[in-house]
Amino acid sequence: MKRILAGLFLLLWSSLVGCSTTVSSAPDAVRIRWARDPENLDPLIVKTSGALEVISLLHCSLLQPSEAKGEYVPWLAQDFPQVTRIGDSLMQVTYQVRPEATWDNGKPILASDVVFTLKVMHCAGLPTELDQARFGFVRDILPDANDPRRFSLLCRGQSIDFVRSSGDFSILPEYALDPEATLRAIPVAAMGKPLPVVQAFAQRYLAGDFARHPERVPGSGPYQLENWQPGRQLTLTRKPTWWADRISSPPPQLWAYPHRINYQIIPEAATAVLALRRGDIDLYPLIPATEFARLQQSPSDRERLQFLTADSYECLTANFNMRNSLLQDQLTRQALSYLFNVPALIKASQLGHAYPSVGLISPSVKQYYNDSLPLPTHSPDQAVRLLQQAGWQRQPDRSWVKPSASGTKQPLRLSISYRAGEPSFETTALQFQAAAATIGIPIDLRPTEASLLSQQVLQGKVQILLRNMHGQPFAYDFTPILHSQSTDLYNASGFGTPSSDRLIEDIAQENSPQRKAQLLRKFQRLIYEERPLTVLYFLQYRIAAARRLGKVPVSGLMPGYVVTSIRLDSVAN
């Protein structure tokens, strides 16, 4: 689930970097281009894809999604959990922590650390609303009295998707964050109450400023933070001794080959390409399609670079703020969707290397994709007809107005907001603005710095929002992004009705593939008709990498590559 959500968050463009300082040119370092700073490295408050990538190297979860396996695989857990169904509405999900798993100080990772983590996720006074929405199905945790590494999660519902999600959160060390064990006597269910002990812990946690000082939270992952210069670079080094090193023939999820991983923040694509060509960086993920094609045409670049692609589960979406009076009518939202020219956008910004979709399920997931719905089409004429059906009246000057309840006429003028500096967003916004102008709708473009844009979304000040959403084919829980109980930042459209909430909950809880397919097709039709958002296309990940890295494993899961599996030729030989 944390990989599903990362693409929902708005990323920061640094204003500092026109060119980047190369921090490490050591032969044991993998140097990766980032477009923006990760902002926040608190393992419970992940807001950017870069932050998620780093957190996954510093901290381990019980389970980890594996595209190769097509399933979640054990990470901290010794095996996939055992499931015991209780009646027809509850289940007990039992985990065993690997016997080798320890913290950096040698202490074993125990069930008490998992209990502590769940309590922190539900702690009143901490900004963990997303965690609470994602893991609200966990009712309680039951440690095994005879085995400190064994525990069971008591869960509402009996869905295999809940079983998968139940192991997808970073486990935190109780000894470091609550050395006096002040929370042990507080049940998980009581952590949301303003109890003095809970409030005192929340204050201590916030005072730790883990967002900027992740080194203050010891992790169970293979890497540790060496250096972080916000807006410039971030370097991780492999721990000299990591608990998984004691496992003979470890599975791929426990590989950690690079000795050092250096992320260099270079906002400008042209500058990043120059750094790649002169050998200052080794790996350029999500490289623009035009630059990718240009490098492939150069014999000298082909000699020293490798070019890799993978169909992703990441899509570009336009989100309509339904709380805004101009966008409350579904016919209006449908009309605006007809102004996006998806084939032209795919050709212009992706050189054809993307694919349209009717909704949030990738067309590659044929079992669940609703192919009975028509793909998005560009039709200003249809937009005009729908606007008229919605009650908008065209004026002699071609503008649109709608009579309000107070007797005044409300003009149709909108703004489209997006993260500044992202070429695909800019191309989409400009095309939408031009198409809207042909039928008399003025559109204001609002490219915005990422952290400010996040604030505007939270405050409900954004009308139409362009953003990427990430997914994966293993579990389907749309609660964080389209449930009425989700926070404004994640459910940017403000969508949610009792019936849609029930449908989302039913999807998450359904085990039968046939029934889940029916529910997901119904969900896609609902979103298609209501249009809280429209999916423009799914991306193809493009990666240019130095040949010195050897084989770079690519993935349709974010970030598009598996850095821990990279074995540098110079090191391997």
Last residue of a domain, one of 216, 249, 274: 216
> Is 129 within the bounds of a domain?
yes
The lowest-confidence range among 139-148, 367-376, 404-413, 479-488 is 479-488
Question: Distance between CA 64 and CA 60 in Å, rounded?
Answer: 9
Q: Are residues 413 and 549 in the same domain?
A: no
Q: Are residues 303 and 318 in the same domain?
A: no
DSSP labels, 404-439? -TTS-EEE--EEEEEETT-HHHHHHHHHHHHHHHHT
Q: Are residues 231 and 305 in the same domain?
A: yes
> Is 23 within the bounds of a domain?
no
| Domain CATH for 302 | 3.40.190.10
Q: Are residues 91 and 206 in the same domain?
A: yes
> Is 467 within the bounds of a domain?
yes
Give how many domains the chain has, as a whole number. 3
Q: Are residues 186 and 199 in the same domain?
A: yes
> Is 13 within the bounds of a domain?
no
Q: Are residues 194 and 242 in the same domain?
A: no
Q: Are residues 118 and 128 in the same domain?
A: yes
Question: Distance between CA 27 and CA 259 in Å, rounded?
Answer: 9
Q: Are residues 182 and 252 in the same domain?
A: no
Task: Please give the average per-residue pLDDT across 5-30, as a whole number.
Answer: 43
Residues 541/309, Cβ–Cβ less than 8 Å: yes
pLDDT recorded at residue 132: 84
Residue 22 has pLDDT above 60, yes or no: no
**Mean pLDDT, rounded, of the chain:** 91
> Is 275 within the bounds of a domain?
yes
Convert 261-282 to b/e letters by CB count within 10 Å (16 or more is b).
Answer: bbbbbbbbbeebbebbbeebbb
| Domain CATH for 331 | 3.10.105.10
Closest alpha carbon to 354 in 319, 311, 308, 324: 311
Tens digit of each residue's pLDDT (9 = 90 or more) over 208-241:
999 999 999 999 999 999 999 999 999 999 999 9
The model's confidence at residue 488, banded by pLDDT at 50, 70 and 90, is low
Q: Are residues 426 and 535 in the same domain?
A: yes
> Is 152 within the bounds of a domain?
yes
Q: Are residues 350 and 466 in the same domain?
A: yes
Question: Distance between CA 470 and CA 4 in Å, rounded?
Answer: 5
Residue 495 belongs to what domain range? 314-539
Residues 478/8, Cβ–Cβ less than 8 Å: no
How many helices (H) and strands (E) would you count in the chain? 19, 22
pLDDT recorded at residue 573: 43
pLDDT recorded at residue 235: 97
The model's confidence at residue 20, banded by pLDDT at 50, 70 and 90, is very low
pLDDT recorded at residue 26: 60
**How many beta carbons lie within 10 A of that of residue 38, not counting itself?**
25
Closest alpha carbon to 547 in 307, 308, 309, 305: 305
Last residue of a domain, one of 216, 233, 268: 216
Last residue of a domain, one of 194, 216, 238: 216
The model's confidence at residue 571, banded by pLDDT at 50, 70 and 90, is very low
Q: Are residues 187 and 108 in the same domain?
A: yes
Tens digit of each residue's pLDDT (9 = 90 or more) over 163-177:
999 999 999 999 999
Q: Are residues 186 and 272 in the same domain?
A: no
> Is 206 within the bounds of a domain?
yes
> Is 105 within the bounds of a domain?
yes
| Domain CATH for 99 | 3.90.76.10
1 versus 532: the higher-pLDDT residue is: 532
Convert 495-531 to b/e letters by CB count within 10 Å (16 or more is b).
Answer: bbeeebbebbbbbbbbeeeeebbebbbebbebbbebb
pLDDT recorded at residue 569: 58
Determine the length of the chain: 573
**pTM, 2 dp:** 0.88
